[in-house]
A and B are shown apart, each in its own frame.
Chain A
Amino acid sequence: DVKVTQSSRYLVKRTGEKVFLECVQDMDHENMFWYRQDPGLGLRLIYFSYDVKMKEKGDIPEGYSVSREKKERFSLILESASTNQTSMYLCASSLYRANTGELFFGEGSRLTVL
């Protein structure tokens, strides 16, 4: 079974703090993604990566950066957290050109910024 593990299920941070969200997958997938989920807005793509050290902006990259130094690990960084970044963050991975286009998701990290 594919496993996508997110380092923290729940975090509480203060405005202005630097926040790291870590994601590790164990199936040698080329593609990795960070989404945020907000009520009424669905899942919105923040950043994705199709290879080590490669990254592409998604639909809402402002206020975020990412790092992919190893194939299995994709980190989301909030340089200076703000209250509007309070959300559920979901990491996902997929095979390059998978037949089904399937994404495998982690369980999510709920971040609250005070």
Chain B
Amino acid sequence: DQQVKQNSPSLSVQEGRISILNCDYTNSMFDYFLWYKKYPAEGPTFLISISSIKDKNEDGRFTVFLNKSAKHLSLHIVPSQPGDSAVYFCAAGGTYKYIFGTGTRLKVLA
């Protein structure tokens, strides 16, 4: 039973446009939701997070939206840059345990 789902394995976007990555979850008890970016042969790096008590968090070009009623999380990247090309994982959890989605490969076309 997959508690955190990323239904789009890949996404291609033109440079300068908006990238929207989506994530669905099933457990209402998660405290935090996070997005990570991963390049090949490297560990994931933290991008942005949101607490379950908020519905939006912004950090520069990255904004995360949380819709608790729909159990849906999205990451918006504006404007997209070629260096954003990577695999993006969403994750959900609490104090100790974090569950990751399967990842979405974003390709930003120059």
Contacts and interface: CB of A to CB of B under 8 A. Distances in A.
Contact of A43 (B9, B46, B89, B96): B89
Interface string A96-109: 11001111111110
B31 interface: yes
Contacts of B103: 42
Contact of A50 (B32, B96, B100): B96
B43 A105 contact: yes
Given A58-B97, A103-B46, A105-B45, A42 B31 contact: no
Interface in B87-109: 89, 91, 93-103
B93 A40 contact: no
A56 interface: yes
A40 B8 CA distance: 11
B43 A108 contact: yes
- Chain B: interface residue count, which band? 20 to 34
Contacts of A44: 100
Interface in B39-84: 41-46, 49, 51
A103 B98 contact: yes
The 6 closest A-B pairs by CB, nearest first: A101-B32, A105-B43, A42-B102, A43-B100, A100-B49, A42-B100
B95 A97 contact: yes
Nearest to B52: A101
Nearest to A99: B51
B29 to A, nearest CB: 14
B65 to A, nearest CB: 16
Interface of A: 4, 31, 33, 35, 40-45, 48, 50, 56, 58-59, 90, 92, 96-97, 100-108, 110
A58 B93 CA distance: 13
A40 B101 CA distance: 9
Contacts of B31: 101
A45 B34 contact: no
B32 A100 contact: yes
A101 to B, nearest CB: 3
